[in-house]
């Protein structure tokens, strides 16, 4: 950031898995903060959090909390956003919301800056941060769409437990420990907190992320389908998704199959396009066993892409393997990028 101006920033959900990464990212990117306000539910209020060497007390988020706030980064669950984001906007803040509350609202831009930064400008006080699994995929698909036309996406995900919060991280750790000690695994949370049934995630795979919809798809799958079309500005792209939770802590991986519009495209051309794209790192050298993995991507802001191959039976089909830290590019970093863009482009005030 080159601006001299500084801003009052509120982080709502400051003690959650994403909130913690939000603060790390704000610090690391040296975001121009005048005053930092850490907010949470009543339950977490009173906790102490470090930021740039100072200790901050977390306060309970109320409508009045947002007086004087310029930018509010929300990641405290959809119901908190539904209730408090309009209150923040009413008091003059611009909200970057990292829940599903407003993503499909036609009045709310849904933004991955590398893909549709310009949409931010249309905001009415709220900009939605897409679902983690969507963000990394559309970032990788953008150069494909731009250069070759994108008609179809079929994705199967490999998603980390941190996407379900800190308690899910603890659950995987505890279950793995129990299993290795020959004890029974205790399953109280995954696949979905609050659901009737829970299954062990350690040394297992659960084909359910978020609750089931009436059409047999999970909400996570529907997010990928609907958000992709909205972000990429093309309702005609066919998107099919299967989302699976797996026993690793950080980074989602995705096996993405795409069909392009143009014939005669080579895997080399696709690699070249991916390589030149913003925010994407091409890691694709089979001969030297170079490809992205969740462990390697953890802690990094970029989206990593490898295993790019042309379908052997279909002239327009290609495979990509897309990996990114679900808490960074999938959440905190993308939100901070949106906030940076608001400032850089003078889009804060309407």
Nearest distance from residue 130's CB to a copy of itself, in Å?
Answer: 19
Of the pair 54, 289, the CB lying nearest a copy of itself is at 289
Residue 200 engages a copy of itself in binding (rule: CB under 8 A): yes
Please give the structure tokens belonging to residue 118.
């310009």
For the CB of residue 283, give the shortest distance to a copy of itself in the complex, in Å: 11
Strands (E), 191-269: 238-242, 252-260
Contact region for a copy of itself (CB under 8 A) — 28-36, 110-118, 123-131, 175-183? 175-183
**Residue 44: count of CB within 10 angstroms of its CB:** 20
H or E element in which residue 114 lies: helix 113-116
In terms of CB distance, is 28 or 255 closer to a copy of itself?
255
* Intra-chain end-to-end CA distance of the chain, in Å: 21
Q: Is 286 helix (H, G, I), strand (E, B) or coil?
A: helix
Span near a copy of itself by CB under 8 A; candidates 10-18, 84-92, 120-128, 232-240: 232-240
Closest separation in Å from C-beta 318 to a copy of itself: 9
Q: Would you give the binding string for a copy of itself spanning residues 125-154, x where CB under 8 A is met? A: -----------------------------x
Which helix (H) or strand (E) segment holds residue 126: the answer is: strand 126-128
Give catalytic status of residue 132 as yes or no: yes
Of 69, 66, 73, 63, nearest to 18 by C-alpha is 73
Draw the binding track, 24-53, toward a copy of itself (x: CB under 8 A; -: no contact). ------------------------------
- Binding test (CB under 8 A) with a copy of itself, winner from 24, 87, 234, 311: 311
For residue 134, which of 210, 187, 67 has the smallest C-alpha distance? 210
Q: Which listed residue (59, 123, 243, 252) is catalytic? A: 252
Torsions phi, psi for 339 (to 5 deg): -65, -40
Give yes or no for residue 330 binding a copy of itself (CB under 8 A): no
Is residue 246 part of the contact set for a copy of itself (CB under 8 A)?
A: yes
The annotation status of 163 as a binding-site residue, yes or no, is yes
Longest Cα–Cα distance in the chain:
60
Convert 136-182 into a string of H (helix), E (strand) and C (coil).
HHHHHHHHHHHHHCEEEEEEEEEECHHHHCHHHHHHHHHHHHHHHCC
CA separation for the pair 30, 191 (Å, rounded): 36
Hey, which residues between 278 and 307 contact a copy of itself (CB under 8 A)? 286-289, 291-295, 306-307
Indicate the residue among 41 and 255 with the shorter CB distance to a copy of itself: 255
Report how far residue 270's alpha carbon sits from residue 318's, in angstroms, rounded to the nearest whole number. 9
Which of 288, 346 has the CB closer to a copy of itself? Answer: 288
Q: Are strands 94-97 and 71-74 parallel, antiparallel or unpaired?
A: parallel
Binding site for phosphate, by residue number, is 103
Contact residues toward a copy of itself (CB under 8 A) are: 154, 156, 158, 173, 176-177, 180, 191, 195-197, 199-200, 203-208, 212, 215-217, 225, 238-240, 242, 244, 246-249, 253, 255, 257, 267, 286-289, 291-295, 306-309, 311-314, 317, 319, 321
Residues marked as catalytic: 132, 252
């Amino acid at each position: 950031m080159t601006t001299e101006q500084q801003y009052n920033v509120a982080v709502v959900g400051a003690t959650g898995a994403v909130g913690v990464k939000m603060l790390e990212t704000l610090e690391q990117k040296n975001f121009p903060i005048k005053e930092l306000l850490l907010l949470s539910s009543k339950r977490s209020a009173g906790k102490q959090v470090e930021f740039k060497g100072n200790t901050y007390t977390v306060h309970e988020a109320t409508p009045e909390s947002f007086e004087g706030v310029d930018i509010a980064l929300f990641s405290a669950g959809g119901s908190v956003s539904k209730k408090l984001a309009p209150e923040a906007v009413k008091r003059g803040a611009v909200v970057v919301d990292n829940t599903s509350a407003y993503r499909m609202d036609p009045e709310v831009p849904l933004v991955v800056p590398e893909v549709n930064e310009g949409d931010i400008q249309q905001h009415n006080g709220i900009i939605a941060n897409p679902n983690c699994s969507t963000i990394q995929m559309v970032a990788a698909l953008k150069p494909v769409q731009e250069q070759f036309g994108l008609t179809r996406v079929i994705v199967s995900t490999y998603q980390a437990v941190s996407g379900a919060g800190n308690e899910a991280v603890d659950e995987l750790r505890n279950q793995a420990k129990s299993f290795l000690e020959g004890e029974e695994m205790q399953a109280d949370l995954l696949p979905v907190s609050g659901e009737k049934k829970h299954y062990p995630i350690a040394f297992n795979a659960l084909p359910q992320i978020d609750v089931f919809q009436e059409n047999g798809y999970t909400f996570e799958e529907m997010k990928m389908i609907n958000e992709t079309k909205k972000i990429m500005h093309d309702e005609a792209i066919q998107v099919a998704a299967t989302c699976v939770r797996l026993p690793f802590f950080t980074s989602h991986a995705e096996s993405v199959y795409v069909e392009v519009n143009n014939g005669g495209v080579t895997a080399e051309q696709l690699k070249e396009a991916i390589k030149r794209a913003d925010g994407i790192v091409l890691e694709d050298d089979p001969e030297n066993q170079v490809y992205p993995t969740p462990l390697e991507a953890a802690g990094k802001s970029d989206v990593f892409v490898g295993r790019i191959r042309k379908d052997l039976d279909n002239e327009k089909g290609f495979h990509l393997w897309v990996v990114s830290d679900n808490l960074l590019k999938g959440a905190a970093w993308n939100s901070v990028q949106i906030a940076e863009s608001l400032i850089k482009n003078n889009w804060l005030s309407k």
